[in-house]
Amino acid sequence: MDEKTLDDVISRYDSPSGRLLGILGEIQNREGYVPRDALEMLSAKLDVRLSQLYGLVTFYSFFSLKPVGDHVITVCMGTACHVRGAVEVLAALEQLLGIEDEATQDGKFSVTTEDNRFTLEIARCFGACSMAPVVEIDGNLYGYVTPETLPGILGNYGWRES
């Protein structure tokens, strides 16, 4: 995000230092994530500590500190899904997408494939426990997921076995 665009975002708020979440949300919406240089500029312009901005961005799951892929896959790791195979589903997804084990960023599990096509995340309960284990892709819920059904599901989003 360039400085002029950031100034434009900030100028819409009467009291910018009290509207950090709104400004950060607008950066996230415009860029698809919150770039580090935008945080640094925001910190300097509003005289807010960079650590405070990082604290907000890492606390709220809406924000991401790096670009997300074209398709976002979220595996539910809530209790019902966990006991019915979510760990195996997550491991299978990591393998199918070629994502490194246990990759984490800033306390969140959010990993994007090198080609930027898929981002893999985890969440706690979609409120669809009767269909556990549950995976959400781009807002679509899939229930009773198993490692065996994943290739067919991912195929709907352009994934092909390499």
Residue numbers at the binding site for ligand FES (CB under 6 A): 76, 78-81, 125-126, 128-129, 132, 134
Nearer to ligand FES, 38 or 78 (CB): 78
- Closest distance of CB 64 from ligand FES, Å: 22
Query: Is the separation of the CB atoms in 24 and 63 below 8 Å?
Result: yes
- Closest distance of CB 135 from ligand FES, Å: 9
Q: b or e along 141-161 (b: 16 or more beta carbons within 10 Å of the residue's beta carbon)?
A: ebeebeeeebeebbeebebee
- Closest distance of CB 6 from ligand FES, Å: 38
Nearer to ligand FES, 56 or 128 (CB): 128
Q: Rounded to whole angstroms, how far apart are CA atoms 2 and 37?
A: 9
What amino acid occupies position 110? Answer: S
Nearer to ligand FES, 116 or 140 (CB): 140
What amino acid occupies position 28? Answer: Q
Q: Rounded to whole angstroms, how far apart are CA atoms 126 and 82?
A: 13
Q: Which residue is closest to ligand FES by CB? A: 78
By residue count, the chain amounts to 162
Token pair belonging to 70: 């074209």
Nearer to ligand FES, 96 or 141 (CB): 141
- Closest distance of CB 76 from ligand FES, Å: 3
